[in-house]
């Protein structure tokens, strides 16, 4: 029975995260040349930065705002 309770909690958390994301975030697709994205991937891997964070910070810095 404990497994079912854990499974229900995981499903519940998954649904809650999805609802929160849908309410608070929008997705944007960006195209890069292969060489450009490979350089970005290498940079992010070298410094342990998530690519999403890298792009958000770069974009917000470009418009003079910070990530909250």
Is the pTM above the cut of 0.85? no
**Residue ranges covered by each domain of the chain:** 25-68
* 20 touches 34 (CB < 8 A): no
Q: Phi and psi at residue 26, in whole multiples of 5°?
A: -125, 155
pLDDT tier, 9 (very low <50, low <70, confident <90, very high otherwise): confident
Higher pLDDT, 2 or 68: 68
Q: Which residues contact 40 (CB under 8 A, 6 or more apart)?
A: 32, 51, 54
Q: Which comes out higher in pLDDT, residue 66 or 1?
A: 66
Q: For residue 2, what pLDDT is reported?
A: 60
Distance CA 66, CA 68 (A): 6
pLDDT digits (tens, 9 = 90+) for 16-65: 999 999 999 998 899 999 999 999 999 999 999 999 999 999 999 999 98
């Amino acid at each position: 029975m404990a497994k079912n309770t854990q499974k229900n909690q995981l499903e519940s958390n998954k649904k809650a995260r999805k609802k929160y994301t849908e309410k608070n975030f929008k997705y944007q697709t960006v195209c890069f040349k292969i060489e450009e994205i490979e350089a970005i991937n290498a940079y992010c891997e070298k410094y342990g930065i998530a690519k999403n964070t890298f792009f958000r910070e770069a974009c917000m810095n470009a418009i003079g705002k910070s990530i909250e």
